[in-house]
Amino acid sequence: MRKYDAVPELSLIDFVEGDASARAAFQEALFEGFKYFGFIILKDHGVSRDLLQQAYDLSAAYFALPDAEKNKSAAGVDGQRGYTPFGTEHAKDSEHPDLKEFWHVGREFDADSPLAKIYPPNVWPDAPAGFREAFLTLYDSLEEAGMVMLEALSPSLDVAPDYFRRMATDGNSILRLLHYPPIPDGANPNAVRAAAHEDINLITILVAANGSGLELLTREGEWLPVETDPDNLIVDAGDMLARATNDVIPATTHRVVNPKGPNVSRYSMPFFMHPHPEAVLTCLKSCEGDGAKYPDITADAFLKQRLKEIGLAN
């Protein structure tokens, strides 16, 4: 029998503004949801509804531009900033490219910042108007929501409250604007919008998409649709958190399937929360059990290894 029938919905305000009992209940539910599903749904998270709607409108306007215009902002060899065309990325170990295109927004910094030696600068399109301002605001809002969730996770893993915040401060986090166009005529029948995969990072904060298709693989081996109110955030644990917790919190396999109804576009916006490059992914003492499963590795080395595996780096 399943412990849960659906991905649990939690209210972040219970942790931010609640009393000791409400905070403790949120912390326990977050940990249990991550352990059981690898996913939770977050409501009352403080990210403006108007900002989310503006972001969706701008994303749709950008992806409606001609390919020649979008390709002016093509991403570099590592795919970490700017536009990546349709059919470029594939899931690890998959030979079929995903049926999607996307845009990456990274951390913004001044030219004289030490981060300029670590991260590439953002690439910005000429249109639509307001694109840069809206997505930098959304980036900051989603990052802070992620920081609060990581703080809430800390007591369950017996680490200091700021353990993950210190790890993720100035991290190589990425906001991805995703467009899954209508399935084109002649598409490979084995290709899907996003093949089964696990995320690379610590946690992913997904602005709930404006169309169905997201499914997670339960511990019982069944595909479960993940749907919620468009104002909510869907949060899942990635490979880096799984590695640090010795799979106490496993990274859950998920996918985006092709539409079963009208063949229309789907848009979503995941925020991939990463540590800073020199952070070491090491097994937490509370999760050692019979011993660490994975050797220590820096976040940067792990990321580069995985980017090669999914076709975004050479």
| Tokens representing residue 246 in the block | 């010795």
* Residue 91: pLDDT over 90: no
Residue 295 pLDDT grade (very low, low, confident, very high; cuts 50, 70, 90): very high
CB 249 within 8 A of CB 241: yes
Please report the pLDDT score of residue 8 as a whole number: 92
Residue 308 pLDDT grade (very low, low, confident, very high; cuts 50, 70, 90): confident
Domain boundaries, the chain: 9-309
Please report the pLDDT score of residue 96 as a whole number: 83
Please report the pLDDT score of residue 168 as a whole number: 96
Please report the pLDDT score of residue 217 as a whole number: 94
Residue of 78 and 112 predicted with greater confidence = 112
């958190």: which residue's tokens? 241
User: In whole angstroms, what is the distance from residue 161 CA to residue 10 CA?
Assistant: 20
Please report the pLDDT score of residue 1 as a whole number: 39
> Residue 131 is inside which H or E element, if any?
helix 131-153
Residue 196 backbone dihedrals phi, psi, to 5 degrees:
-55, 130
User: In whole angstroms, what is the distance from residue 115 CA to residue 120 CA?
Assistant: 9
Write the CATH number of the domain with boundaries 9-309. Answer: 2.60.120.330
User: In whole angstroms, what is the distance from residue 309 CA to residue 313 CA?
Assistant: 8
* Residue 3: pLDDT over 80: no
CA 268 vs. chain centroid, Å, equals 10
Residue of 5 and 24 predicted with greater confidence = 24
Peptide bond into 259 cis (omega under 30): no
Q: Is 44 helix (H, G, I), strand (E, B) or coil?
A: coil
Please report the pLDDT score of residue 95 as a whole number: 75
CB 227 within 8 A of CB 133: no
| Tokens representing residue 89 in the block | 């990325």
pLDDT in tens, 134-189: 999 999 999 999 999 999 999 999 999 999 999 999 999 999 999 999 988 888 88
What average pLDDT does this structure show over 119-137?
Answer: 95
Torsion of CA 148, 298, 174, 116, to 10 degrees: 110
Residue 313 pLDDT grade (very low, low, confident, very high; cuts 50, 70, 90): low
Residue 78 pLDDT grade (very low, low, confident, very high; cuts 50, 70, 90): low
DSSP annotation of 209 reads: P
CA 99 vs. chain centroid, Å, equals 18
pTM equals: 0.93
Please tell me the least confidently modeled range out of 56-60, 186-190, 255-259. Answer: 186-190
Percent of the chain topping pLDDT 90: 74
Please report the pLDDT score of residue 261 as a whole number: 81
What average pLDDT does this structure show over 74-86?
Answer: 83
CB 270 within 8 A of CB 165: no
